[in-house]
Amino acid sequence: MFTEPYHYTRAFAEQLDGQDELARFRDEFYLNPDSIYMDGNSLGLLSKRAEQSLLRVVDAWKTRGIDGWTQGEHPWFYMAEQLAALSAPLVGAAADEVIVTGSTTTNLHQLVATFYKPEGSRTKIVADALNFPSDIYALQSQLRLHGLDPAEHLIQVQSRDGRLIEEADIIAAMTEEVALVILPTVLYRSGQLLDMERLTAEAHARGILIGFDGCHSVGAVQHHFSQWGVDFAYWCNYKYLNSGPGGVGGLYVNRKHFGRMPGLAGWFGSSKDKQFDMEHRFVPAADAGAYQIGTPHIISMAPLIGSLEMFAEADLTRLRQKSLKITSYMMGLIEQELSGMGFTIGNPRDDQRRGGHVSLEHAEAARICKALKENGVVPDFRAPNIIRLAPIALYSTYGDVWDTVQRLKTIMTDKLYEKFENTRDVVA
């Protein structure tokens, strides 16, 4: 928690910014001078380094044509492995346990197809009732492919309060009928950070494999997947890692599973020395690269080169420390400035249980978000009543936080939100 004495003034926010050892990275991003961006947990902003690495890859295409696959600064044939080496420290893994490939949902399909082996009485998959819908759709689909009814074989652990999932309830669902557990690292609505180490140990003690969706934590929270013995994980790179809209995802497979045949085989999962033999016998790569399917999306991967180089410089430990401090500061401001206006902070307050965003609940959340945008703040709405605010360690300032809360106070005091309907836009 943010424990040092503080004052709710613009001057004090500027003092905190003057002490910020990550402040220099703000100049690396394209920021709109007319608005405050608080939606980096949904889509990160473009950095100048990401732009440059994209342009360099495009230039290689322009000047080298097909030889770009094996020549130049970043040969395309090895780009997924290059990015994996840069990504691995962010998830606590060895480079060969990570590959940059696919999307969140296609990677989940690949991993479930690989690791879900219903046998005897062990046929069920455990997930949680607050998970992002795409994960649930994928799990339901995988169960149907096995001829199983998702209504019976997908166990969704319920929340006690509609915000959080208790680890004890997840553990209680790990019965002898369970073959696989799939959970988010951070719940996308409330920002709750699950105890991955505990859950992994409990699953393994019961002979159950466990995997995690890291979309809302990778780049904001430290992970130790290898140390914890997590079986597999998958994530997107366009939120905290700023790879761009629809940017290529990533996956992790613990080395103890190397050699397991991919459930969904494709030619880029081949051992690289065999791939262009063009034989109809699949020889998978000996590491996480085996779980690639199709040809890498080179142009979409390119911005991640520059972005991940910046993360290596900034250091995730420092990023996490600032994230915790600035979100705690935001919560303190909210409690001080918005008291009596109908807001509830729905995310955990404990640093050990909180991800990278503040989850602010209000009955008029959808129309308040629209008013924020009209008044120069970009938030994120999540049905039915959540305003997600994410000050990002690399480019958000304490001054941004102070200004955001003050504008929110004006919106509520002057009832500026009443001009809008309390319904979400097409994209929320």
Q: Which of 49, 163, 189, 388 is catalytic?
A: 388
User: Does residue 88 contact residue 98 with C-beta atoms inside 8 Å?
Assistant: yes
User: Torsion-angle region of residue 72: left (phi > 0), alpha (psi -120 to 50) or beta?
Assistant: left
Q: Do 258 and 192 belong together in one domain?
A: yes
What does DSSP say about strands 178-184 and 209-213: parallel, antiparallel, or unpaired?
parallel
Domain edge (last residue) among 313, 342, 362: 313
225 tagged catalytic = no
CA distances from 354 to 104, 164, 246, 323, 347 (A): 22, 11, 26, 10, 7
Distance in angstroms (rounded) separating the CA atoms of residues 141 and 147: 10
Binding residues: 104-105, 132-135, 213, 216, 238, 267, 295
Active site residue 238: yes
Residues 213 and 285 in one domain: yes
Residue 426 has a pLDDT of 72
List 238, 240, 252, 268, catalytic entry: 238
Domain tally, the chain: 2
| CATH number of the domain to which 272 belongs | 3.40.640.10
List of residues 6+ apart from 389 with CB closer than 8 A: 38, 330, 357, 358, 360, 379, 380, 404
Q: Is 281 a catalytic residue?
A: no
| pTM for this predicted structure | 0.96
Q: What is the pLDDT of residue 6?
A: 64
Element (H, E) at 298: helix 298-314
For residues 195 and 285, membership in a common domain is answered with: yes
Does residue 213 sit in the same domain as residue 307?
yes
Residue 406 lies inside a defined structural domain of this protein: yes
Binding residues for pyridoxal 5'-phosphate: 104-105, 132-135, 213, 216, 238, 267, 295
One domain for residues 321 and 304: no
Task: Tell me which residues of the chain have a pLDDT lower than 70.
Answer: 1-6
Residue 415 annotated in active site: no
**Are 251 and 336 contained in the same domain?**
no
**Domain residues for 236?**
52-313
**Which residue in the block uniquely carries the two structure tokens 């019961």?**
206
Of 271, 289, 313, the residue at which a domain comes to its end is 313
Residue 1 has what pLDDT? 47
CB 373 within 8 A of CB 428: no
Q: Is 388 tagged catalytic?
A: yes
